[in-house]
Structure formats: structure tokens, C-alpha cells
Chain A
């Protein structure tokens, strides 16, 4: 197993002066390729901030963040955008699909935005992913017509579209009923097993966390377990 990402002494503060809040306080974390890890911790422990920094959507205040051997700590916005598109997938709690687009159009977005157009191969890959997610009958459906569980599965398919090395999922089942939550987790487990995609899943749900092979506990801005 090779090292996928490594963060050292990660610090993130918000605000300044008396209003300054230190969310991450020198956090260290290493993940290897192919891991299926749960990120656990109480609200305000810094889970979401960590995911945001790992997803290159935010710079840390200090510390070092590398992924695939690339130092992302001080990379430019353009470089981070490109890196994110190629290597990282996101699944959000509230699916965050583009409402005016179909399921297929949402899924192929990460590839189309890179290629500058919707290619035939992208459509083919998108269909394949949706079929795998059990949405073969909903490929051309506007996302507004899908149920919550279906939307979240579309979001998972979108996260996998560019065959990312790392998928960051922030409470992916937090807004789903138990059956839908288990279905989404089964799919994540299957993809992790079959394709070796690394998943880091932030959750409060111990049953979801139990389905992951590694549990990372964050408390007070540090990895505590």
C-alpha cells in the first residue's frame, strides 16, 4: 500500500483577535491507497474543516498537506482546481446536484468541465456508473424528480466519474432513511473493494462507521484515535 495523503501539523484558524477560533490544532494524518475510513468526532471537532482542506477547497493556516506526493499547501487556485478535478471526488450530505440537469448530465460534469464538452466516452462512463448505482431507469431524469436516496447515489456516481484516488464524503447518509443509507454504504464498500478507491467518510453514525475498515477519531482539532 502506498501513501495517498499526508498532513502534518495542520492548523486552521478562523477570525482574528478575540474572535479567533482555532479549529485544527496541529493535526497529523496519513492515509494509504485503498482505505475505507470513517472520520468520527463530535460536532465542532474539526471534521468538516479537515475534509474541506483535504478536498483542496481551503488552505490551512499552517502545516503541510501533500497528496500523491504533491505539496498542496501553497498551490495556486488554478493548480488546486485541476488537482481536485483529477484526483478527488466529493459526496455531500445534501447531495448538492445541479437541479436543472439530468442525472447523467450531473454525473459527467467533472469530465465535461475538464474536456470542455460532453464526449461520447464520458456519457458511456456516466451511464455505466448510474446503472451500477441501480439508476439505469433514471439516467435521463431531471434530478428534481429523484428521491433523496436516488439523488445521493447520483452524487456518488458523480464523485467516481473521473476515477479519483480519494473520495471525501461528508455525512453522505445523514439525510437518508436507514434503507437508503445502507444501500449507499453498500455501494461505497463495493467500489472500494472492486476499484481500490480510497474513501474518507465523515459520520456521526456508529453503524456506518462500523462498515469502514478504519476509524479516525477527531477531537478538539486533533486526531485522537
Chain B
């Protein structure tokens, strides 16, 4: 084995230019593999962070109350009926009992009890419709990283505070510290002070949302107890599908995974991952074809030597090992050079963590380069590629080979 490896090494070093070209070709394939891994991985992480990253991974929503049927009091035609919103009446009342159970589940980072509804934000003569999110003080950033998105002020919600999106603030020409009037769909108004302005980079949250403290939301929606929604954040968002049924079983409430509502996003991410796999498979296939064809040529060129080796007592297995070792060495060298080159080139790209909204370029994640996998797959691929030429070499008739 050791001797076969020596002969393989000698064959490779005897044709330095040819070997260098071959290793270079393999290294290019490995570089593409690594670049695609880092790009697809980085892109997926970026998209997830920008979308599902700010989503609740599991949601428990109070079931909406059926709308009241309009009684027909007379034979006349009903033109308009005014009813209070049914959304506020859908309440989760037993949260103090089940929240500790949910938070004790493995993989749960935190929970956020919320009272949500809609309303109008008024400043002077300007009125804008907004979605109102009542959050627990101290848990403002459990689901959406409000603290990380703050451009002015603080994400901490005290009594009488409101957080607004940057676009909304600009549209209404609002400044930090100013007072605004917030009227809920229940018709209750509150005067609130702008304690922070955030920018998520997404149109909806920046233009149409207002965050208030849970106590303020109770007042706005006339909800003395309970909440309308419980959102749960997990360490691994892909564990949501498994965890939602457990929470359902634990609480008896309708816990839903984020994937039920974001199936299209998941499909898009899966399609992107599939594209990455296909591109990487093609890179690997190119390596295999390149190594196989080069070694087939080498086998043909060294036919007389193979014949001599067989005549001197080298078995078919020995000849196989000589050629398979060449494939393995080419794969290993190409893998190492390609991985080193790939890492070096990826270093020139900005780190994914610093890649923000609106920034041009590629959200490459250098940590997702799959360097080890690239080296191992390339070496295995090159070994596989060398089997056919090695078998051809081992099966050569020594008499015919020497006679050339």
C-alpha cells in the first residue's frame, strides 16, 4: 500500500504541469462548491433573519367569537348596523397557568403575551390607521428584536409610552418625545408619548404598527384580564412543527407553527436550497469527469509501464491502488487548495451579520462554506472517478502492454 502510494506520487510529480493543471481544475470546482455553500447558506440565513427571524415561531391565538346575527325586528331593510369589534372579545384567560409550562419546554427561548388590535393614530389634523401591539414590559424584544431596530429612543415600554416605525414617524412628521393620540377600534383613546422610533426595513411594521405596554392595551381594548395572543420564540425555528402539537397537548389551546402561515416562504427557501444542491452536484460532477478523463489518459500513456510492473510481480490490486491513489491525491490536493482559496476569497466579502437592509452585494456567510465537506466529497469523488481507469489499468494484459 505504502509502495503503491509512492509510485502514485512519483507519477504525479513526474508530470508536474499536467498534475498542476488537474489540481487547479479540481480546486476551481471546490471553490465553486464552497462559494455556493456560503452564498446559499448566507442568503437563507439572511432571508430567515429578515422574515421568519421576526416571526413568532409558535402562536396561540384566542378563537374569534362568531359575529352576532342581526335580528330582523321589522319588515324594513337594514341599512347600517354598528357593532363593536369581535376581535377584542376573543381572549386567552388562563395564561398565568400555562405560560410557565410552555417556557419550561426544551427549545423555547421565551414567550410574549400580547393584546393586539387596530386603531387610529392622531397628531393634529393627521390620522393614520395602525395595528396596535400591546407587549409585556421587559419582554418587548422577545419576538421582534425591537431593541436592535431602534434608531431613536429606547424599546422599553413604560405606562403611557408608544413605539412607532420610522416611516410612520416621517409620514406624520413625528419626533421622539412628542405626544400622540391613539384610538382603539373599541373607541377608547389614550394620549401617549413617543418613547422610541424603530426601523425594521420592512414596509408594514415601519409604516403601520404601534407598540404599547400591555397595561395601555388593556385600557384601549377594555380587557381587564387575559390576552388575545401568545407568541413563542424557539431556539430552532425548524423545530416549530414538532413543538406546536406538544404545546397543543399541554395547554389544550390551538397552537400553530409559523410554517402553517409561511408555507410559501418555506417553499422558496427549500427551492433555493435545492438549487444550491444542484449547483454543488454539478461542480462535483465536473471534478469527477475531469479526474476520470485525466487518469484514463494517464493509464493509456503508461500502458507499457503497467505491463512491466505486472511482469515483475505486481498484482492487479497493486496496479489498482496506484491509480486510485493518484485520484485520491489529486482530489485531496485540489480540495485543500480550493478550500483555502475559497476561504481567502470569502474573507473579502462583508460578514453576514453586518449585511443590513438596502445594502448592495451578496449576503455571504463565510462560516457556511462547508470546507470540510467540500474536501471530503472531492477526495471521495476523485477516488470514485479513478476507479474506472484503475480497473482498466489492472485488467491490462501485460504481454500486450509491454509489446507496444
Interface residues on chain A, number (Cβ under 8 Å): 30
Residues of A within 8 Å of B399, CB to CB, are 52, 57-58
Q: Assess the B312–A109 pair: CB atoms within 8 A.
A: yes
Residues of A within 8 Å of B149, CB to CB, are none
Confirm or deny: B305 has a beta carbon within 8 angstroms of a beta carbon on chain A.
Answer: yes
The digit string for A105-132, where 1 denotes a CB below 8 A from any CB of B, is 0000110111111100000000000000
Confirm or deny: B1 has a beta carbon within 8 angstroms of a beta carbon on chain A.
Answer: yes
- Chain A stretch 81-108: residues in CB contact (< 8 A) with chain B: 81-82, 84-86, 90, 92, 96-101
Name which of B3-11, B100-108, B201-209 contacts chain A: B3-11
Assess A90 versus B316: contact at CB under 8 Å? Given A58-B399, A101-B10, A118-B3: no
- Chain B stretch 285-309: residues in CB contact (< 8 A) with chain A: 304-305, 307-309
Q: Assess the B314–A116 pair: CB atoms within 8 A.
A: no
Residues of A within 8 Å of B307, CB to CB, are 96
Confirm or deny: A78 has a beta carbon within 8 angstroms of a beta carbon on chain B.
Answer: yes
B313 is contacted by which of A92, A97, A99, A114 (Cβ under 8 Å)? A114
Assess A57 versus B311: contact at CB under 8 Å? Given A96-B304, A100-B10, A101-B10: yes
Assess A110 versus B308: contact at CB under 8 Å? Given A52-B399, A116-B1: no
Confirm or deny: B57 has a beta carbon within 8 angstroms of a beta carbon on chain A.
Answer: no
Confirm or deny: A55 has a beta carbon within 8 angstroms of a beta carbon on chain B.
Answer: yes
Q: Assess the A113–B311 pair: CB atoms within 8 A.
A: no
A112 is contacted by which of B3, B14, B311, B398 (Cβ under 8 Å)? B3
Closest residue of chain A to B317 (Cβ to Cβ) is A78
Confirm or deny: A158 has a beta carbon within 8 angstroms of a beta carbon on chain B.
Answer: yes
Tell me the complex Cα distance, A57–B398, Å: 7
Confirm or deny: A177 has a beta carbon within 8 angstroms of a beta carbon on chain B.
Answer: no
Q: Assess the A110–B1 pair: CB atoms within 8 A.
A: no
Confirm or deny: A77 has a beta carbon within 8 angstroms of a beta carbon on chain B.
Answer: yes
Tell me the complex Cα distance, A97–B305, Å: 8
Q: Assess the B311–A55 pair: CB atoms within 8 A.
A: yes
24 examples of A-B residue contacts, CB within 8 angstroms: A55-B311, A57-B311, A57-B398, A77-B315, A81-B314, A81-B315, A82-B315, A85-B313, A85-B314, A96-B307, A96-B402, A98-B305, A98-B308, A110-B312, A110-B313, A113-B3, A113-B309, A113-B312, A113-B313, A113-B314, A116-B2, A117-B3, A118-B3, A118-B6
- Chain B stretch 1-44: residues in CB contact (< 8 A) with chain A: 1-3, 6, 10-11, 14
Closest residue of chain A to B1 (Cβ to Cβ) is A116
Which bracket fits the contact residues of B?
Answer: 20 to 34
Closest residue of chain B to A118 (Cβ to Cβ) is B3
Confirm or deny: B233 has a beta carbon within 8 angstroms of a beta carbon on chain A.
Answer: no
Tell me the complex Cα distance, A87–B312, Å: 10
Residues of A within 8 Å of B311, CB to CB, are 55, 57, 84, 90, 96
Residues of A within 8 Å of B398, CB to CB, are 57
Q: Assess the B14–A100 pair: CB atoms within 8 A.
A: yes
Q: Assess the B6–A81 pair: CB atoms within 8 A.
A: no
- Other CB < 8 Å A-B pairs besides A55-B311, A113-B313, A118-B6, 11 of them? A52-B399, A57-B311, A81-B313, A82-B313, A85-B312, A86-B313, A98-B308, A98-B309, A113-B318, A114-B313, A118-B3
CB distance from B45 to the nearest CB of A (A): 49
CB distance from A9 to the nearest CB of B (A): 22
- Chain A stretch 161-184: residues in CB contact (< 8 A) with chain B: 162
Residues of B within 8 Å of A58, CB to CB, are 399
Q: Assess the A90–B312 pair: CB atoms within 8 A.
A: yes
The digit string for B311-344, where 1 denotes a CB below 8 A from any CB of A, is 1111110100000000000000000000000000
Closest residue of chain B to A86 (Cβ to Cβ) is B313
Closest residue of chain B to A142 (Cβ to Cβ) is B14
Assess A78 versus B312: contact at CB under 8 Å? Given A100-B11, A117-B3: no
Tell me the complex Cα distance, A85–B313, Å: 4
Residues of A within 8 Å of B2, CB to CB, are 116-117
Confirm or deny: B310 has a beta carbon within 8 angstroms of a beta carbon on chain A.
Answer: yes
The digit string for B62-82, where 1 denotes a CB below 8 A from any CB of A, is 000000000000000000000
Q: Assess the B316–A77 pair: CB atoms within 8 A.
A: yes
CB distance from A107 to the nearest CB of B (A): 11
Tell me the complex Cα distance, A99–B11, Å: 10
Assess A81 versus B308: contact at CB under 8 Å? Given A57-B398, A113-B3, A116-B3: no
Tell me the complex Cα distance, A118–B5, Å: 12
Tell me the complex Cα distance, A82–B402, Å: 19
Tell me the complex Cα distance, A33–B307, Å: 27
Residues of B within 8 Å of A112, CB to CB, are 3
Tell me the complex Cα distance, A88–B303, Å: 22
CB distance from B392 to the nearest CB of A (A): 16
CB distance from A18 to the nearest CB of B (A): 22
Closest residue of chain B to A87 (Cβ to Cβ) is B313
Top 7 nearest A-B pairs (CB, nearest first) are: A85-B313, A100-B14, A113-B314, A110-B312, A117-B2, A81-B315, A96-B308
CB distance from B303 to the nearest CB of A (A): 12
Residues of A within 8 Å of B1, CB to CB, are 116
Chain A CB count within 10 A is highest, among B11, B316, B402, for: B402
Q: Assess the A84–B308 pair: CB atoms within 8 A.
A: no
CB distance from B186 to the nearest CB of A (A): 88
Chain A CB count within 10 A is highest, among B3, B307, B309, B316, for: B3
B310 is contacted by which of A81, A115, A117 (Cβ under 8 Å)? A81
